[in-house]
Amino acid sequence: MRKSVSIFSSLILTVALSASAFASAEAPVLGGEGSDGVTVAAEEGSIPSLMAGVQDTTAVPEAESDPVLTEGLGDLGLGQGVGAGAGESVDMRIASCEEQNFCTLCLADYEYDYHPDQGLCIYTGGGKGIPFVLMFKTEGTGFDPEGHFSQVLTPQMQENYGDNLIDIGQFQTYTVSGIEMPGQMYTYLIDGVPVVLFRLFDIRDDHFVCYTAKYRQDDSEATLNALARAAYYYQPDAHYYDQYTGGNNTDGQDDGQDDGQELLHNSAQTVSCPEMGFSVQTDPEYIWDYAEDTGVTIYTKTEGSVPYIMVYYCDDMFDPAEYIDESFTPWMQEKYGDNLIGLVEYEYYTVGGKDLAGAMYTYRTADGYVLKMLRCAEVVDGRVVLYSAKVLNGEEEETLNALNLVVSSFQPDANYYN
């Protein structure tokens, strides 16, 4: 057993399963089955080869190596969604914009307000002025970010600041909290002090979000981390986070006061697996361990027993959907026969904000228990990640919510959260 503690804002990841998928939840684990009693351990050695029946081993092209937001700015913890150091506790609040129907999270002591011509403004320096992060949501498609910078913002900055505009960065793609966004930086002087304006666009299917951070060098860490949080926790629904506060969230605008809004305390432990080269995050109360043939097992109630989650980072590349359909499902059918009483295969299963190939299984054990198993898979850095969850029938919620955080926080680096 291993336990290590880090910080990650797990709040939004707890109820992201689609309603239809959850309603029919039937679930697998990265192990075969033992006695399948209530206290059955994460079984080892009885699962068929993870590559069984898989012929397609063609490697996928590596993702284009875009610059990361922290490049040249020091290690600001961006991409973790929080930017807090290990062992540090973070209190968050909801920043909601009714006018444009979206919300996000920011640190509890940050003020925010809304400006019709600029959007939601989160102030990161203790007052209403520089430094800050702006968010502006616009409905529609076909937006051209490069044209915005070259034809609109750059000429505007040149006109407004003249010789005080001392640097125009290159238009490029940045990775912010795992989201690729086109953007550009500008540096100009105010009373002889350099100020950076950093603008990015998150292009969605039916809308886009413009993020603008403005800060001085001394403010860069806090403001860029606020930008990373804002992007990570963005939801296109002003009331999305009401479900976590009992519907008591108030707008918090203008005076920046709490107004009875529940502060959101977010913490998690890091699960680091150097043997397979990945890390994920989960509830600090959960116990986890590692075995060579099953990967990482996270127990959501009692160590060594159902319910639990498994994560296995394969060495090879294969098609996740074909693996589920042509290898794992036939193995489950052969193993359980008539005791496999439910099977739902998905074109994709939405978990942790990702659409993954997956299948849900319901089966009866020799002891008379009905278990549900979910197996889903994704490709990360040319290798397949297999996620599994096993629960007793009717006790799915906590473990499937835990799986949300595991999937959303997966990083192909054992030291990512350190």
Question: What's 260's domain CATH number?
Answer: 3.40.1000.10
Same domain, 258 and 166: yes
Q: Which whole number is the average pLDDT over 188-211?
A: 92
- For 176-198, the pLDDT digits (tens) are 877 889 999 999 999 899 999 99
Cβ atoms within 10 A of the Cβ of 163, count?
Answer: 8
For residue 13, pLDDT over 90 is answered with no
What pLDDT was estimated at residue 133? 95
The residue among 264, 286, 305 that closes a domain is 264
The residue among 236, 264, 292 that closes a domain is 264
- Is 182 a domain residue? yes
Number of domains in the chain: 2
Same domain, 244 and 146: yes
Same domain, 121 and 33: no
CA dihedral 49, 55, 57, 61 (to 10 degrees): -130
What pLDDT was estimated at residue 246? 54
pLDDT, averaged across the chain:
75
Those residues with Cβ within 8 angstroms of residue 376's Cβ, 6 or more apart along the chain or in another chain: 320, 324, 349, 351, 356, 357, 358, 359, 386, 387, 388, 407
- For 81-124, the pLDDT digits (tens) are 333 333 334 578 899 999 999 999 888 889 999 988 889 999 99
The residue among 264, 294, 326 that closes a domain is 264
Distances (CA, A) of 207 to 31, 122, 185, 293, 358: 42, 21, 23, 44, 28
pLDDT > 90 fraction of the chain, expressed in percent and rounded = 47
Same domain, 204 and 306: no
For residue 29, pLDDT over 80 is answered with no
- Is 80 a domain residue? no
- Is 3 a domain residue? no
Same domain, 179 and 101: yes
Residue 199: give the domain boundaries: 90-264
- Is 345 a domain residue? yes
Kindly tell me the number of DSSP H helices and DSSP E strands found in the chain.
7, 20
- Is 141 a domain residue? yes
Q: Which whole number is the average pLDDT over 31-37?
A: 34
Q: How confident is the model at residue 218 (pLDDT cuts 50, 70, 90)?
A: confident
Same domain, 114 and 165: yes
- For 399-417, the pLDDT digits (tens) are 988 998 899 889 999 988 8
